[in-house]
Chain A
């Protein structure tokens, strides 16, 4: 079988290596800068010391914890995204199943409704939604940051497509044995739909964990604010200490980066599944 090499492999590795190097420079720069004395971050930015570690000091990391409650931001992000992903799977998976497999009055309308609302980007409704929750006197807690994203048309659609393509023999056997819809769904369908659950969990996590606009609108102080807002406010907190800011950044992405490296295959599949229908 022909190897589909575009160019000879040496040149290939070289070009890709160069590209990859340029590409990861900002990340290297962040990591290296976070470990060096604050005074040196900017002066050394344009030298080879900007991206190769020469000094390793944890000073900046200590300083971050002295200046802000980093662990608080981390905890807030974990709670908010845990709610979005966990509750999201709980409500969107059954909805996708009902739309794909059950025959009920209102199914067509509901399906059209979900597909239509998929078109509305969050930025188009952020302001009126902000007004809506403000009128309700609802702000500055975890729920107001998580609830608007729990029921999510794209997730419903992804589950719907998955269940459409799933072989139906297993469920049929369960239904013939007299099991009800809920029991069949939770005992037969869910265990066989793990890839769909993993994809949807990852896609929603990727979409929402970096969210900045909504927490900016509905939170007032650091007590319930998530990391993306944390880094933005920490960056404007005087005095401007770049080493601290970069240390904040490293600590902030590390958990998700580790999760990404471990479950890389799922990330890539999850993302690809949204694009290739």
Chain B
């Protein structure tokens, strides 16, 4: 790597000047990212709790053992996994479909792009509040009415956010609604990067629409698709705002998530060490997903 970059480095800067330029940012990330990260690892092996009379001591892996037996943490992990298996396929396919539609040369196509991208600029807290109203229980609620119409009246009104089996899917739906525009734009950029002559060559070879999609479009979208899938996977473990505002993890832990549990334990209850242990596990999950991504992207580099 360094050999490739060397030719770009045309200046022998004095070390002091270079550190002057890079120093403030590096100091910032040391103080506000590296330090708290190391602190999380350190604290997770202690018994620190706010307001606790016990002296600070090292307890080894006790916090890690406790969170897997005592709390809603296992349920939170399961919920995040359900979230992932629910939204990754739907959001990716929907984004791909939208990107393919928006990649056509049609008049007024930009308006559609604007509409689908719009929710990306909405803060999740606002979306959570609006959708709480959309999910209003009783026949008046917008979602209940909508489902009533599309099922020709077969749908019985439910209280979505208080329903043990519907609360999590309800949260998934609004998350897809907010996020799909982002994936769409990434995939659209990918589509526009596929050279037109590949399609022409395939057409000359007699490839049909489907065949062109499978042999030209999909391979051309490999990296953007990997990126979209990985980002969505990571996002489904980062879910917090919606849960905190809409359901507070309920009913009976049906919507609790890893980050929600960490905040409930580490902030609301002041059990700093336990919250830190949950943060560390959360980090390890995200790291695992990222490592998978790097592997997949590297594989392609070898080909």
Chain A: residues with CB nearer than 8 A to chain B? 1-6, 9, 12-13, 15-16, 19-20, 23-27, 29-30, 33, 41-47, 50, 91-92, 94-95, 97-108, 110, 113-114, 117, 119-121, 123-132, 147-153, 156, 164, 168, 171-172, 175, 180-182, 185, 206, 209-213, 216-217, 227-229, 231-232, 235, 242, 245-246, 249, 252-253, 256-257, 260-261, 264, 267-268, 271-272, 274-277
Contact = CB atoms under 8 A, between A and B. Distances in A.
5 contacts: A41-B133, A123-B262, A151-B28, A209-B123, A272-B186
A112 B185 CA distance: 29
Contacts of A42: 133, 136, 140-141
Contacts of B276: 127-128
B32 A148 contact: yes
Contacts of A271: 120, 182, 185-186
A232 B129 contact: yes
A127 B266 contact: yes
Report, nearest first, the 4 A-B pairs whose CB atoms are least far apart. Answer: A151-B28, A210-B123, A46-B145, A104-B18
B241 A127 contact: no
A103 B121 contact: no
A210 B123 CA distance: 4
Interface string B62-104: 0000000000000000000000000000000000001011011
Nearest to B122: A253
Interface in B20-35: 20-22, 24-29, 32-35
Given A16-B112, A129-B36, A121 B234 contact: yes
B290 interface: yes
A253 B145 contact: no
A242 B133 contact: yes
B10 to A, nearest CB: 6
Contacts of A253: 121-123, 126
B177 A210 contact: no
Contacts of A119: 286-287, 290
Nearest to B123: A210
A101 B33 contact: no
B263 A213 contact: yes
Contacts of B193: 276
B167 interface: no
B130 interface: yes
Contacts of A252: 123, 126
Interface of B: 2, 5, 8-15, 17-22, 24-29, 32-37, 39-40, 43, 98, 100-101, 103-106, 112-134, 136, 139-142, 144-146, 148, 177, 182, 185-186, 188-190, 193, 196, 199-200, 203, 209, 223-224, 227-228, 231, 234, 238, 240-241, 244-245, 259, 262-263, 266-267, 272, 275-276, 279-280, 282-283, 286-287, 290
Contacts of A164: 5, 8
Contacts of B200: 1-2
A77 to B, nearest CB: 10
Contact of B279 (A46, A104, A124, A132): A124
A223 B19 CA distance: 38
Given A27-B119, A275-B227, A246 B106 contact: no
Contact of A249 (B35, B115, B129, B262): B129
B168 to A, nearest CB: 19
Contacts of B114: 261, 264
A228 B290 contact: no
B101 A175 contact: no
Nearest to A270: B185
A126 B263 CA distance: 9
A1 B127 CA distance: 43
A275 B26 contact: no
A127 B115 contact: no
A275 B229 CA distance: 11
A108 B15 contact: no
